A and B are shown apart, each in its own frame.
Chain A
């Protein structure tokens, strides 16, 4: 069964610094991959998705992620952090048996220091 790991439950960056949130998945079968963001007391919002097209995926709010099959990774980056980026970020991968079902990672809480 698929699983997702996110290295670091809490990440702090300074405003203007690079944001790097790590995600690794378990399967060797190319899956669909997603990043979601959750602001306090809200539902999750889709940031970007990889569905076997270009390996570098651009999303909303200046975020992008690169699919690396050899490393089974899908890390999320943003060149310059903004205060409004402070939120919880979830990596997710489609289930082995169904692209309709998604497995979520445990989440990384991003803090942005002024």
Chain B
């Protein structure tokens, strides 16, 4: 089975900190995605990547950046964490047309 691993299940960070959320997939998928999930707002796409060193903005990229130096790893970076970035963060990977495989999520709290 394809596995998407997010490095932390729960994370607490202070306002202003630089935060790294790591995501690794083990099935050679081309596509990787970062979403945030908030009650009442559903899943919102932050950034995605179709290839190494390639990235595209999603619907809510402000305050975030990403890095994809290797095919299997897609990192989400919060440049200066703020309380409104407290959320569940979901990473996913896919082969074209086959649907996404999600990680277990990282619940980030910014205090």
Contacts and interface: CB of A to CB of B under 8 A. Distances in A.
Interface residues of B, number: 23
Contact of B94 (A44, A45, A100): A100
Interface residues of A, number: 21
Interface stretch (A14-22, A79-87, A102-110): A102-110
A100 to B, nearest CB: 5
Contacts, number: 50
A90 interface: yes
A102 B44 CA distance: 11
A90 B43 contact: yes
A99 B97 contact: yes
Given A101-B48, A105-B42, A42 B104 contact: yes
Nearest to B98: A49
Q: Which 7 A-B pairs have the closest CB atoms?
A: A43-B102, A106-B42, A104-B43, A44-B102, A46-B99, A43-B104, A49-B99
Interface of B: 4, 30-31, 41-43, 45, 48, 50, 90, 92, 94, 96-105, 107
Interface of A: 32, 34, 36, 41-46, 49, 51, 90, 94, 99-102, 104-107
